[in-house]
Amino acid sequence: MIIKKGSSKKRITVLFRWTGHATYTLSVLIGLLDEKLDTDKFTVRTAETEEEIIREARSDNLITVLAYSFCSPQFEDIKREIKLLKETLGPKLLIICGGPHTTALPEDVLKAGADVVFTGEAEESFPSFLNVLYENNGIPDEKIIRPKPLDDFDDYPPFAYKRGFFAPIEIRRGCTTGCAFCQTPRIFKNVKERSIGYISKYTRYLSDARRDAVYFLTPDALSYGSKDPIDLESLESMLKSIHGTDLKINLGNFPSEISPGKLARFRKRRQYLRSTWGTRRSCSADKAEATRS
């Protein structure tokens, strides 16, 4: 047990380790906690250096949680850092980890010194864990926290807009293609999408913040609004809902959000919607094309 049961309630500081990787994820997670946690109980911020983490964990009357989200190539560096921090701070610091590597190999990450690990999507499990940590004044017994179902995918912000820390808007999660090398269909069993209302609401936030473009995250942008076939009506309705601001619209880049197979089918049907290529010049052209009808 890291925090003594029965001690008086403390404020919890959640530090997200800023490594220069996973910046989109950090924007999503910080935005999530900004919405879901009570600001009287929690402070949420990033930490860029080990010294900063040590200083924070040693400060008086605080519970400090250090959160990592990382992919496999970063694991060895993070493992070294966890070891160093644990040797320096012992139980003063609660280390939690999530992200693709942790989802695939949670036991490895626990073995590396993490106190608690999260697998899969954490929009429900993460705030709920922190609230239990606060209420119980101690860490729950489970070391591997599994995802909880998300009732409404629109219920979670796509980025930390309250801090001006933006990221692409994730409009679809999950994929039906099932490529053998890819973790996505294995982590997310069902495909879910953000509604047009959601996309237009957060696009307005980008516009209000004077950003120059809106970007999307999705395994398959051309199928927005349908499970697999191209649904031009849904795609067009979504694009129309966000036109009218000064933002350039980047629906996706080839061959990432715009999948090669889907693009071939799209062209075959001789229907054209050029909102795809990702350069500044084409973004403007694409936006004009997408909004002409």
Which residues would be at the binding site for ligand SF4 (CB under 6 A)?
175, 177-179, 182, 184-185, 219, 259
Cβ distance to ligand SF4 smaller for residue 138 or 185? 185
Find the shortest distance in angstroms from Cβ 185 to ligand SF4: 5
Cβ distance to ligand SF4 smaller for residue 184 or 200? 184
**DSSP single-letter state for residue 164:** T
Cβ distance to ligand SF4 smaller for residue 16 or 266? 266
Residue where the block lists tokens 């350069």: 279
Find the shortest distance in angstroms from Cβ 259 to ligand SF4: 6
How far apart CA 138 and CA 3 sit, in angstroms, is 5
| Order of strands, sheet of 116-118, starting from the edge strand that comes earlier in the sequence | 42-47, 11-17, 62-69, 93-98, 116-118, 144-145
**Residues in contact with 278: Cβ distance below 8 Å, sequence separation at least 6, in sequence order:** 250, 252, 253
Cβ distance to ligand SF4 smaller for residue 182 or 209? 182
- CB of 125 closer than 8 Å to CB of 148: yes
Could you tell me how far CA 100 lies from the centroid of its own chain? Answer: 11
How far apart CA 183 and CA 202 sit, in angstroms, is 27
Find the shortest distance in angstroms from Cβ 184 to ligand SF4: 4
CA-based nearest residue to 239, from 196, 190, 184: 196
- CB of 63 closer than 8 Å to CB of 13: yes
Cβ distance to ligand SF4 smaller for residue 183 or 291? 183
Find the shortest distance in angstroms from Cβ 262 to ligand SF4: 9
- CB of 127 closer than 8 Å to CB of 14: no
Cβ distance to ligand SF4 smaller for residue 23 or 184? 184
**Residues in contact with 11: Cβ distance below 8 Å, sequence separation at least 6, in sequence order:** 41, 42, 43, 61, 62, 63
Find the shortest distance in angstroms from Cβ 230 to ligand SF4: 15
The token pair that represents 287 in the structure block = 């936006």
Find the shortest distance in angstroms from Cβ 177 to ligand SF4: 4
**Residues in contact with 180: Cβ distance below 8 Å, sequence separation at least 6, in sequence order:** none
Find the shortest distance in angstroms from Cβ 178 to ligand SF4: 6
Cβ distance to ligand SF4 smaller for residue 262 or 287? 262
